[in-house]
Amino acid sequence: MVDDLLLISPLLIVTVMGLVSLLVGVFAPAGSFKGWLAFLTSFGFLAALGACYMLWHETSAGAAFSSQSFHYSLTLDHFGLALCGVILLGALLATLTAVHYLPAQKSDHAEYYALIAFSALGMMIMVMAADLLTLFVALEVMSISIYILAGFKRDSSFSTESAMKYFILGSFASAILLLGISFTYGATGTISMREIGLAVAGGDAHSELALFGMVMLIVAFGFKIAAAPFHMWTPDVYEGAPASVTGFMAVGVKAAGFGALARLLLTCFGAPEYRDGSAVSWETLIVILAVISMCAGNLMALAQKNLKRMLAYSAIAHTGYLLMALLVVPASSDGEQALNALGGGLVFYLLAYTLANVAAFGVAAAVGARGVEDAGEEAYAGLAGRDPMLAFALTIAMLSLLGIPLTAGFMGKLTLFGELLSSGGGEYLWLVVVAVVNSVVSAYYYLRVVMVAYMQDESAEKPIALLKSAPLRVAVGVAAILTLVFGIMPNKAINASTRAGYSLVHTSNPATYGARVSAAKPAITSTVEPKDVAHR
Amino acid sequence: MLEQILFWLLAGGAILTAAMVVLPPVGRNPLYGALSLILSFFFISGLYVLLVAHVMAVLQVLVYAGAIMVLFIFVIMLLNLSDKELGQSRKTTAQFIGVLAVSAIAVKAIMVVSSATGSKALMAADAGFGTVDGLADLLFRQFLFPFELVSILLLVAVIGAVVLAKRRLT
């Protein structure tokens, strides 16, 4: 039991930090500066990051919990840990951008930091979830925290509107997710991902029902990761929410959504070994979503003058690129190699995306803090003259999102496209061509931000004061530096993400995972009902 | 046979009352809509009884029809919406497309489910299903972790209610 608690220590640390900041906030005098809580919460994220690092080295692929309830609900593998790391890094940096931003927005409440911690908790559990019930509850913990955070500036109708919009559409997506879970349960008679996988692969499941459920699940996740055509909420919510929240939302929700989606699709609907035969195929749907997301996101981003709105459309485009990473599996004939490639592409790309977005939204927070709600062009025009460091970080973020060499974004795109080509053997060549053309198109709007920041003069009639905040500058600076570091020396990070993908060989393959666990632990196999297992 | 008749009555009633929540003339007034939702919950609770899930049936009435809907109605009455505030209902093209899409999905769902009668054996409930014992076994053993996580979810919801609704008293 104690071992189990050690295995979930990252989750426990984040929970405790959330509760502590909530309690401390109650006793802090009203109206006092709450920014120091950000350091407390960041310390928690850092500790959880350390715990993830420790577990990464301790755990062989697919460590099993000794207590039954954990074993059924969570999967601990390198894939989950790596994504937890990405989420925690994003949360850590995004929290630091809020320290002075919130007081400037007149919404400096202690609950902010508790909500950030709880939504990070939900995200981490999402990528580790082993059954659909845990997945759903974790998704709701994450979503509801984010809805509240989006409306955190409660005296601004702009922010409240974005929260309301996100809440209503998000609840609708949750309903569709539940419908998908119900249909999957109807087809297979279980909500454990591993047993669904076994039933689907073994032909016990009613394949049409399972297919219907899977489509619903993909639609619901498509909403969460902002894939077109389920992206309508994205621009309004990204624009209306406070910039520090948007930064966290952009990176965390995407990493958690992709982690959970990848695990769900691979475990339930066809581990590579099961591709032939009865496995329900999802690649066509993913291809369609990827193409629409890339094209729609990029085309609509072209017209955006507002930094936050532009980044929202760019987030949709990046969802398109990221979806391509999932296609490595159906494209390849070699299952293990495919999962290596998936990890290398997906996890590293998410890391690069997280760093670039944290930097970009950090700058948006700095320029948009003093009463300016939308970060239009006039907000960051001539930024280079006012603050060279922020302008430089913004440039690196934009170049990384665009995918210019020497940045992490370039290595991410290179790995992702390269893996898809090499494992698919040219099957998806056309898709890579579409993606590259889209990347070229995206140069227009990314480089325009850089141009406005460097070439244009500050608007004379209403100069906008920058937010003076050391923690924000540290967060933006660290994100920019890490973007460069992972762009120049990506080997270690790519190796780690490949290893994360490799761990899915054990944990996403229902047959081998079940076998491994039952060899190490008392018999828990697919045929034994949970309550038959003896008490421990 | 009796079970069949009961099922169709309850299922039909549940769908009809659920539709009445939003469809005119009943759904025109939010209060009537909420009352109709309560009726729908009672029908669904009857369906749970047919499924031998007695605890669920009782909880459905106690929690949904009882606690939650009372709160709904309380809020609607507090708002005291007049016809002017409710505004005219409009029929837009988007609504039309939405109805079409939902009906298409519903037809597909019905077709899929009716073709799936073969997998009935999979869904047979085992002994002890639906009892307090069985439910406790699921909640506190197999699904202990999500059960604990729900407490965090509720905490988050409480924080949200306070953060979003609190006005500074100055």
Q: What's residue A519's pLDDT?
A: 37
Of A138, A147, A204, the CB nearest to B149: A138
Instruction: Say which CATH number the domain at B42 has.
Output: 1.20.120.1200
Residues of chain B contacting residue A529, judged by C-beta atoms under 8 Å apart? 126
Q: Give the A window 56-75 contacts with B, CB below 8 Å.
A: 68-70, 72-74
Q: Are residues B4 and B78 in the same domain?
A: yes
Could you tell me the CA-to-CA distances from A296 to A37, A312, A317 in Å, in that order? 40, 12, 7
Residue of A133, A163, A189 with shortest CB distance to B122: A189
Q: B54-63: per-residue pLDDT in tens?
A: 888 999 999 9
CA distance A387 to A366: 10
Cα separation, A97 vs A369, whole angstroms: 11
What is the rounded CA–CA span in Å between residue A265 and residue A99?
38
| Residue numbers in A near B143 (CB within 8 A) | 69, 72-73, 131, 133-134
Same domain, B19 and B77: yes
Interior angle at CA A262, CA A260 and CA A265, nearest 5: 105
DSSP secondary structure, A98-139, as one string: TTTHHHHTT---THHHHHHHHHHHHHHHHHHB-BHHHHHHHH
Number of domains, chain B: 2
Range of the domain at B144: 125-170
Collapsed DSSP state (helix, strand, coil) of residue A76: strand
Determine contact: A204 vs chain B, CB below 8 A.
Answer: yes
B135, part of any domain: yes
Which has the closest alpha carbon to A464: A395, A388, A372? A372
pTM across the whole model = 0.91
Answer yes or no: is B164 within a domain.
Answer: yes
Complex-level ipTM: 0.90
Taking CA atoms, what residue in B is nearest to A112?
A: B163
B59 and B6, same domain (yes or no): yes
By the CB < 8 Å criterion, does A533 face chain B? no
- Check CB contact under 8 Å for A531 and B122: no
Interchain contact, A531 vs B137, CB within 8 Å: yes
Q: How far apart are CA B81 and CA A401, in angstroms?
A: 48
Whether B5 is in a domain gets the answer yes
* Interchain CB contact of A193 with B (< 8 Å): no
Give the residue from chain B lying closest to A30, CA to CA. B168
Lowest mean pLDDT among A505-519, B82-96, B128-142: A505-519
* Chain A residues 150-169 with a CB less than 8 Å from chain B: 151-152, 154, 163
- Say whether A212 and B115 touch across the interface (CB within 8 A): no
Same domain, B16 and B77: yes
**Quick check: is A535 in a domain?**
no
Nearest to A161 by CA among A373, A352, A312: A373
Provide the pLDDT confidence category of residue B103 given band limits of 50, 70 and 90: very high
Indicate the SS3 state at residue A74.
Answer: strand
Match 């507090």 to its residue by tokens: B78
- What are the helix and strand counts (H, E) for chain A? 25, 0
Q: Closest Cα partner for A507 from A166, A174, A62, A195? A: A62
At B19-47, the pLDDT tens digits run: 888 887 777 788 888 999 999 999 999 99
Cβ contact (<8 Å) for A118 and B144? no
Q: What is the pLDDT of residue B156?
A: 95
Tokens coding A493: 């990070």
Cβ–Cβ under 8 Å, residues A16 and A118: no
For residue B97, tell me if it sits in a domain.
no
Domain that holds residue A459: 2-522
How large is the C-alpha radius of gyration of chain B?
20
Structural domain includes residue A529? no
For chain A, helix, strand, coil in percent to 5 are 75, 0, 25
Quick check: is A533 in a domain? no
Chain B positions contacting chain A at CB under 8 Å are: 108-109, 112-113, 115-116, 118-119, 122-123, 126, 137, 141-146, 149-150, 152-153, 155-157, 159-160, 162-164
pLDDT at residue B165 greater than cutoff 80: yes
- What digits encode the pLDDT tens for the residues A339-383? 888 888 899 999 999 999 999 999 999 887 666 556 677 778 888
**Distance to chain A for B119, nearest Cα, Å:** 7
DSSP of A169-183: HHHHHHHHHHHHHHH
Count of CB atoms situated within 10 Å of the CB of B112 = 19
Structure tokens at A311: 């980044």
Average pLDDT in the B161-169 region? 77
- Torsion sign over Cα A139, A140, A145, A151: positive
Residues B69 and B134 in one domain: no
Looking at the fold, whether B129 and B76 belong to one and the same domain comes out as: no
Number of domains in chain A: 1
Q: Would B94 be classed as within a structural domain?
A: no
- B79, B156: one domain: no
Does residue A253 form part of some domain? yes
Residue A527 confidence (pLDDT)? 34
Tokens 């609840």: give the residue: A171
- Per cent of chain A over pLDDT 70 is 89
Q: Do A212 and B109 touch (CB under 8 A)?
A: yes
One domain, residues B10 and B78: yes
> In the numeric block, which tokens belong to residue B135?
């439910």
In a domain, B113, yes or no: no
CA–chain centroid gap for A230, Å, is 17
B143/A133 CB distance under 8 A: yes
Whether the CB of A12 is below 8 Å from some CB of chain B: the reply is no
- Rounded to the nearest angstrom, the minimum Cα separation between A216 and chain B is 10
DSSP A530: G
Nearest residue on chain B to A136, judged by CA atoms?
B146
Residue B120 placed within a domain: no
d(CA A395, CA A206) in angstroms, rounded, equals 52
Residues of chain A with pLDDT under 70: 1, 60-63, 271-280, 333, 369-375, 459-463, 509-536
Which among A15, A152, A154 is the nearest to B152, CB-wise?
A15
Residue B163 to residue A148, Cβ atoms within 8 A = yes
Flag whether residue A530 sits within 8 Å of chain B, measured between CB atoms.
Answer: yes
In a domain, B136, yes or no: yes
Q: Work out the angle at residue A63's Cα, subtended by the Cα atoms of residues B134 and A522, and round it to the nearest 5 degrees.
A: 50
Q: What pLDDT sits at residue B84?
A: 73
pLDDT one-digit tens code per residue, A392-421: 999 999 999 999 999 999 999 999 998 888
- With respect to residue A69, please indicate whether it lies within any of the assigned structural domains: yes
